[in-house]
Structure 1
């Protein structure tokens, strides 16, 4: 009796098996919903990472001395020293720059009598820059205790042993100080150079002592520009007293 081998089906392999290609599922292309979900996930992960970075930066800048004050730089001083300004500013080393109260620092520096103004700047990574505007004297008041310096605002801000060269002397009552300084600072520079002193018993009785023993009776600070123009003409005449307190009716005697 003869036996025959079972026939193979076309394509080979066991009769009960499928080809490998038939067993693999075809790959599915992502749908729009899948792409949208992936995009949303990426955005959320990016947002979380961004928030973490911002949080770390804020904590570093705000709460740690990493960007704290290491140096206080002082500019613009003449008679003051940089150390005097630093002491007045009272800035604690290591204070985070972003937490530095610049208005409070400026207010403390302005308490120095010689300071007319100050600019406070934060300079990364750890410097505070103080640019000081010192007062400049326009006149002096002599007293037994020394020579008082007076600036353009009429402030008596310092006392020195010797008066600076070229500044006129004020001999005025306290209520007339502002008027005397106003006249002195408003007259033209050509006239101001000839003023040796200013006297005033009241705000309406300002008088200028000029070189050559001459005197200009000014009156009040009103119409200073007009009075100065009239006085310039009067000074071409001979005389010792030039009254321009009423510029419409000036006199020379």
Structure 2
């Protein structure tokens, strides 16, 4: 008998194992492709949303809401704000809008707010007159800061006449007069007809009944007013509270 031939044994993988590994590989590939596709779609969505928000009217200005105006009309405020319809809300220059509206003489303060999806709200505080100054071109309204901000053809009702050469927040006489008027007690205000000054130290207050009060400077106005209220219980037409420790009446 011939001896058996010894050869290298070869292990053959079952077909089922190959199919299983091939299926696992395809499954991993599908997961990877799916993840990449989701990442790509997410990136495209972010880019598309950013473009729509920043560069299209999708979230643009569709309404300018004005609140707080009294004498000014809403359209006057909107014209000053100069906000283009459809302008992307997130790209608005809020400081520029604020400054343009604040430049209106009657505006004392303004707040600018964005409100999604497409509204800009302007909150206006108008100046309130503490008196009016009669000049050749009309009656100039002066507010609590001393600013001359409007001209009327007739005297402003409900406020005293201020006698000043040139009303201005930089003028010492204006500052003194406004400082006195701002601190007068409510009980005294209805009796005030006129407040005048030529400097920061010679304020004079004229009351109803031709009564005149020498006030001096705006310093210690609350104390001077308290002294005057007591003195007004006495008969007289001329009162001096410029030195509140030594008041006189005649």
Structure 1: runs of 5+ lacking an equivalent: 1-21, 29-34
Contact 1:173 1:202 in 2 (8 A): no
Task: Indicate the RMSD between aligned Cα atoms, in angstroms.
Answer: 2.5
Find 2:221's aligned residue among 220, 224, 229: 224
Higher-Rg structure is: 1
Structure 2 unaligned residues grouped into runs of 5+: 1-13, 22-27
Matched, 1:151 2:148: no
| 1:163 Cα offset (Å) | 1.9
Measure how far apart 1:41 and its partner are. Answer: 8.8
Q: Distance in 2 between matches of 1:84 and 1:58?
A: 33
Q: What is the correspondence of 1:24-103 to structure 2 with a 5 Å cutoff?
A: 24-25=16-17, 48-103=40-95
Moved more, 85-94 or 95-104: 85-94
SS of alignment partner, residue 246 of structure 1: coil
Partner SS for 2:188: helix
2:188 counterpart residue number: 191
1:177 paired residue among 152, 174, 177: 174
Instruction: Please say which of residues 152-161 and 120-129 is displaced more in the overlay.
Output: 120-129
Per-residue deviation at 1:52? 3.3
**CA 1:40/1:214 → structure 2, altered by over 3 Å: closer, same or farther?**
farther
Residues 23 and 173 (structure 1), Cα distance of their counterparts in 2 relative to 1, 3 Å cut? closer
2:159 alignment partner, SS class = coil
**1:237 and 2:229 matched:** no
Q: Give the superposition deviation at 1:43.
A: 7.4
SS at match of 1:159: strand
SS of the residue 1:193 aligns to: helix
CA distance in 2, matches of 1:164, 1:45: 72
Alignment deviations for residues 136-193 of structure 1 (CA, whole Å, 9 cap, x no partner): 1110111231111111111111111122322100112333011101100111111122
Aligned residues: 227
Q: Normalising by structure 2, what TM-score?
A: 0.81
| Separation in 1, partners of 2:35, 2:248 | 88
Q: CA deviation at 1:49?
A: 4.4
Give the C-alpha shift of residue 55 in structure 1. 2.1
What is the TM-score of this pair, normalised by structure 1? Answer: 0.81
Q: Aligned equivalents of 1:49 and 1:213: distance in 2?
A: 84
Instruction: For 2:176 and 2:96, locate their aligned partners in 1 and report how far apart those are by CA, in whole Å.
Output: 33
1:113 to 94, 105, 110: 105
